[in-house]
Each structure stands twice: as structure tokens, then as C-alpha cells.
Amino acid sequence: MTDDLKPGLYSRFERYVKVETTSDDSSKTCPSTPGQLKLAKIAAEDMKKAGLKNVSVDKNGYVMGELAANTSKKVPAIGFIAHLDTAPDAPGKNVRPQLHKNYSGGAIVVSKKLGVVIRPQDAPGLADCAGEDIVTAGGDTLLGADNKAGMAVILSALEWLRAHPEVKHGPLKAAFTPDEEIGRGANLFNLKKFGARYAYTFDGDRTGSIEDETFNADALTLSVKGKSVHTGSAKNILANAARIAADIITAWPANMLPETTEGREGFIVFLSCEAGIEKAEVKGLVRDHDMSKLRKMERLLEAIAAQKRLEYPAAEIDVKFREQYRNMKIVLDKHPLVMKYALEAMRETGVEPIIKPVRGGTDGARLSFMGLPTPNIFTGGGNYHGRHEWVSLDGMEKAARVLIALARKWEENS
């Protein structure tokens, strides 16, 4: 493959990141923000220009299209998925992409004025990108490579396949989803309409990474009902819900927090606390790759709450857990060809796979349990969700070539 995919990749990516698509967890609509529907319509037009058929955008912002098979073989339909939204963790409005050509190594000054500098020691994978073209934002926003790089990769690869009919492939499906960053990307995904048998999300980070494993994930709600009396006569009567909630939070072991764990180590994170004397509510997340360890952490939090009930008998303390998603490896291990062909496609395009668990979730986790086995493939960047975000344009091109190789491999082995 001698075609240079980088110009088309950057052209698409640059346009996509300039559309504000920050998702909003407090919204009750789908998509949660209007910019996502705007980008969905842009992406649908790009699908049509790339030669995809049966392109659609539904009212909830799900974009779908397909590239028809060009082989007489009976090949299962393969899907490629990315998401439209960017994380609400950092500003996503007025993104100004910067292209740092032929990166020489060392620190990348994103904004001297704002003091935003990306250093290799703080950006896993960046040191391996010497000589490549690196894209950053302007220092006052995130970039949006998570996951607009995936969108550009999928469309550029499918456009290339349409222009090269000598490369045989079965039916290929493409989909872009809303609100992945707030855990809703698969909520209204129409699997029957999509029509794929297996799929891949292009939503990973550093070049070479491939993920077939996610956290098991629960949400937690800690509720405290206190008792308010005049502080002048409060002894042995007052139950301060705010203080009790804080006491429970600080009782959680410091070595089971996201800031003290890595790899396969699980954690509980306390995300928010709305509290007064009469009532308090704490929201949080429970995460672990091992389901038994997740349950063990939940039992530990319940034991802490039980101890606090003894210490504060005038208060009512309640802990509830709600399932969010489960480790997709349970499903993917039952469909070994999905990972086998992905690993072979990577090696055939000169990319050495880095198999690692996701310290989080993807649309693929939910979709796998819905019946669509879906591991996650790299897009070539890192430091997502913040002002230090970056992506390698060369890494994006490698991801596109992996997609092309995957399409060919499923056809060859059918």
C-alpha cells in the first residue's frame, strides 16, 4: 500500500475537532448536547462522499453506513465504530488544532502563554513518535482525538477500500455513536439495523495498543440522613450528615483509589458529595477487572458504613450499587477469531501489538454483551480528556492500515 493517507486523515480530523461535542451527564436528551447531532450530520455527508451506502442519522445522533462486499465469498459483516462526543473533563469549545511536523523528541510546547507543555515522561508512547507528525490543541482546550481520530481513521480507510476494488472484502459497516464519554453510547444502538456480526471500536490510545478487556463497573450512591437540632443543645442528639459522609469517604483505604492504582488494580472513586446537616448524598464508581475483587470492595464499603452506623446511631446510612458494564473479555474469549485477526492485521502492517486491559470501559464492552463482540484498537494518541492531549498523525495512518488489513483478512479466511 503506497498511498499516503495522512492528508485525508488530517483534513477530516481538523474539521471534526472544531465542532464542539462535549457530552453532558446532567442532560436527559440523546444526544446530550446539540453539537453531537451537528457532527453526526457532517459525518453522514462524509460517509456518502466516501462511497458508503444506506447512510443514516437518527434523531438520537447515531450515524450508520455500509460499504458493500466486493467478493463472491460469504463473509460475515464486520463493523467499525467510533464516538462523536468528547469528555466533559476539559473545555471542548473552539478547539484550535496544531500540527507539529517531524517531531524531534523532547517536550512539545503547546502554549507558551498558558504554560501547557507535553513532556515524554508524562505522555506514554510519545517518545516512540520521533520523526512523526503530532497534533495537539492550543492549550486552552482538549484536542478531541478521543474519539474524532477514530472517526477519521474509519472513514479514510473505508474510502481507500472503495477506491481499491482489487482488495477484496465482505460487507463492512461503520457507526458513530453519541455520549460514549458519559456511558450512554450503546444505550440506543440498533444492532439489527447495524447488521454486523463482529466489530472493532477504534478508540484506543498509543500506537499498537489493543484491548479485549475492560473493568467490571458499578456506580455507587451513599446516602446519609442526619438529625438537625440547635447547636447549642446538640450534645448526644445532633447527627451531622455532611460530617458522617466525609468520615465514610476518608475511611476508605488510600491504596484503593484511582490516583494510587494502575494496571489491573481496582478502585473506588468518590465523584461528588452534596451535603448538609440533615442529608448527604455521595456519588461514586467501583471498578475492577476481576468480578470477585469488585464484590470484595463493595463489601468493604458496606462494612465501613455498618461501623459508622454504630458510631452515629441517630443517623441513617444507606449504600447502593448499580451495575454499569462488565468485562468484555468474558464475551470475546468465546469468539477467538475476532482478536486473532486483529493481532495478525497489526503485525502484517508493521505494528507490534500491545495487549492491555482498559482501565475504564468502551462502547465495545456494552455492545459485546448485547451480542456484538467488539475489542478496541488504537488511534495513536494519549493524554486524553485534557489540555495535554496529543495524537500522532502517523499513528492514525497505521490504524487505518490495520482496518484495511482486517477487512482483507476476514475475506481471505472465509
Half-sphere exposure (Cβ direction) of 141: Cα atoms closer than 13 Å: 22
Q: Is residue 180 annotated as part of the catalytic site, yes or no?
A: yes
- d(Cα 63, Cα 189) in Å, to the nearest integer? 10
Catalytic residue among 20, 66, 85, 203: 85
At 55, list the grid cell.
Answer: 447512510
Residues 3-23, buried b or exposed e (16+ Cβ, 10 A)?
Answer: eebbebbbebbebbbebbbbb
- d(Cα 229, Cα 244) in Å, to the nearest integer? 16
Residue partners of 2: CB distance under 8 A and separation at least 6: none
User: How many Å is the maximal CA-CA distance in the chain?
Assistant: 86
φ, ψ for residue 321, nearest 5 deg = -120, 140
φ, ψ for residue 262, nearest 5 deg = -155, 175
Q: Is residue 58 annotated as part of the catalytic site, yes or no?
A: no
φ, ψ for residue 151, nearest 5 deg = -60, -45
Residue partners of 146: CB distance under 8 A and separation at least 6: 86, 87, 181, 203, 379, 381, 384, 385, 389
- d(Cα 223, Cα 226) in Å, to the nearest integer? 10
- d(Cα 246, Cα 347) in Å, to the nearest integer? 50
CA distances from 334 to 26, 198, 372 (A): 36, 12, 12
Catalytic residue among 133, 180, 213, 394: 180
At 301, list the grid cell.
Answer: 464499603
φ, ψ for residue 138, nearest 5 deg = -100, 0
CA distances from 180 to 85, 270, 330, 400 (A): 7, 21, 21, 21
Residues acting as catalytic residues: 85, 180
